[in-house]
Structure 1
Amino acid sequence: MIPDTTDSLKTAGDEGSSPAVAVCADPVRAGLKGRCPRCGQGRLFAGFLKVRPECEACGLDFSTIQTGDGPASFIMQIAGFVVGFSALFVEIKYHPPMWLHLIVWLPLVVALSLALMRPGRGLMIGLQYRNQR
């Protein structure tokens, strides 16, 4: 006979989950990877930034987790700092024409913002989940 070992698994705090749902060791890392902050297995996003209604693996309800515009404001500050100071350095060192600045820095700030948006939102969701437990 196989012994029942589901009683020894860790479960999330006040979520009313079954004992068979194992808790992810680091919800922040799972959020950065776009995974469920509770189990680390299910996908967090249904589209580019649209959060799923619930986890497909453990059933965690994502509708209670609201990030608002927090990720976007942090991403704008990070991308603005990197691109702004890089453009300032290039201007002081090489003095390129303004059209070259526009061709280089505008696409770079857009690409950097888009590249950081999904991990930033996942990070905010992971932090919010970790701090609400």
Structure 2
Amino acid sequence: MYAFTFKERRINAHNVAYKWCNMCLQKPINDTYIRAVIIRVERDEMTTAEIRETKPAILRGLRHRCPACGEGQLFARYLKVKDTCSECGEELYHHRADDGPAYLTILIVGHVMGFALHGLFGYLRDDPLILALVLCTIATVLALALLPRMKGLVVGYQWAKEMHGFSKPRARLPEASEA
């Protein structure tokens, strides 16, 4: 029922071909492990994995660039993500950023404002109105500057992890009888 060949690096079980990675070759082969591999992959439709690097995709998103190529603009307007990249044609309308960028922006702005309050309180203790105006200005400018970058970060992360429809259909591996 099970066949394993080190030369081909393939498991054949119920007409499913699985391409082994280096980590899998180092593990001992037994029936339990083979069943776990078969459960993890789709039964009759194997696909090859395209590795998408997370860090470059996030950095491209932070720079308002397409997470796939890094050349095309990510946004059509302030927070409106383009449907497709003008350079590589990658579909970007799949993103589901929702409230994530707002939460990240509030997290960062809140921490910066805490340090700003501690730093400015000693200088502006006698004039609380000026202190409030300075802190409000800093918070507003920082939030408006960070929000599109955080949205780009979230879109880049979703693209790299193939979330919400960002995965593309992939080529099938040959069946055991074809190899």
Q: TM-score, normalised to structure 1's length? A: 0.75
**Partner of 2:161: helix, strand, or coil?**
helix
- Flag structure 1 segments of 5+ consecutive residues without an equivalent: 1-11, 15-22
* Corresponding position of 2:86: 56
* Corresponding position of 1:71: 101
Amino acid at match of 1:130: A
* Corresponding position of 1:90: 120
Amino acid at match of 1:47: R
Question: What is the deviation of 1:118?
Answer: 1.4
- Flag structure 2 segments of 5+ consecutive residues without an equivalent: 1-48, 168-179
Structure 1 or 2: larger strand share? Answer: 2
Amino acid at match of 2:133: I
The percent identity for this pair of structures is: 33
CA–CA separation in structure 1 for the residues paired with 2:76 and 2:126: 43
* Corresponding position of 1:29: 59
| Equivalent residue pairs, number | 112
CA–CA separation in structure 1 for the residues paired with 2:156 and 2:73: 13
Question: What is the deviation of 1:102?
Answer: 1.6
1:129 correspondence with 2:159: yes
**Partner of 2:87: helix, strand, or coil?**
coil
**Residues 131 and 48 of structure 1, relative CA distance in 2, 3 Å threshold:** same
CA–CA separation in structure 2 for the residues paired with 1:84 and 1:26: 30
Task: Give runs of aligned pairs for residues 6-21 of structure 1, distance below 5 A.
Answer: 13=50
Structure 1 counterpart of 2:143, from 94, 97, 113: 113
Farther off after superposition, 62-71 or 82-91: 82-91
Question: What is the deviation of 1:38?
Answer: 0.8
Question: What is the deviation of 1:120?
Answer: 1.1
Question: What is the deviation of 1:72?
Answer: 0.8
Question: What is the deviation of 1:89?
Answer: 3.5
Farther off after superposition, 33-42 or 105-114: 33-42
Q: Over aligned residue pairs, what C-alpha RMSD do you find?
A: 2.2
Residues 33-66 of structure 1: CA deviation (Å, up to 9, x unaligned) = 1111111111110001110011111111111111
CA–CA separation in structure 1 for the residues paired with 2:130 and 2:141: 17
CA–CA separation in structure 1 for the residues paired with 2:88 and 2:144: 29
CA–CA separation in structure 1 for the residues paired with 2:138 and 2:129: 14
Which of these two proteins has the greater Rg computed from alpha carbons?
2
